[in-house]
């Protein structure tokens, strides 16, 4: 992301928030306190965002889609693109790489 050093990612991301998302963040800063909010790691920030904007039921749907993703016909590009999108949203299912490879082999066509 933006080639920022890890310690600046939260500051950069929160500086781009607008509207209801900015209101949500300001509320978190008040709750956490400025010092703790400024010390938040990138992964901690992503967790807060996910808890607020990604209901567990929706995450479960994405997990199901990821695990059962199948290649339609011979469209490898579409399959690979969607697989990578889901892996970014569900890093716990794609890390270590052997998990990602396993999910890809499940979705690959069988002859």
pLDDT recorded at residue 99: 62
Question: Is the pLDDT score of 105 beyond 80?
Answer: no
pLDDT digits (tens, 9 = 90+) for 41-99: 999 999 999 899 989 999 999 999 999 999 888 889 999 999 999 998 888 888 776 66
With a CB cutoff of 8 Å and minimum separation 6, the contacts of 79 are: 69, 70, 71, 72, 107
Give the span between the Cα atoms of 32 and 27, in whole angstroms.
9
pLDDT recorded at residue 19: 97
């Amino acid at each position: 992301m933006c080639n920022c050093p890890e310690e600046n990612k939260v500051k950069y991301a929160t500086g781009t928030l607008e509207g209801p998302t900015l209101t949500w963040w300001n509320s978190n800063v008040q709750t956490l306190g400025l010092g703790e909010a400024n010390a938040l790691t990138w992964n901690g920030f992503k967790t807060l965002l996910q808890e607020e904007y990604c209901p567990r039921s929706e995450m479960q749907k994405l997990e199901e889609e990821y695990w059962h993703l199948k290649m339609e016909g011979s469209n490898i590009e579409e399959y690979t693109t969607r697989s990578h999108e889901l892996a970014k949203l569900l890093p716990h299912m794609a890390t270590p790489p052997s998990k990602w490879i396993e999910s890809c082999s499940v979705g690959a066509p069988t002859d």
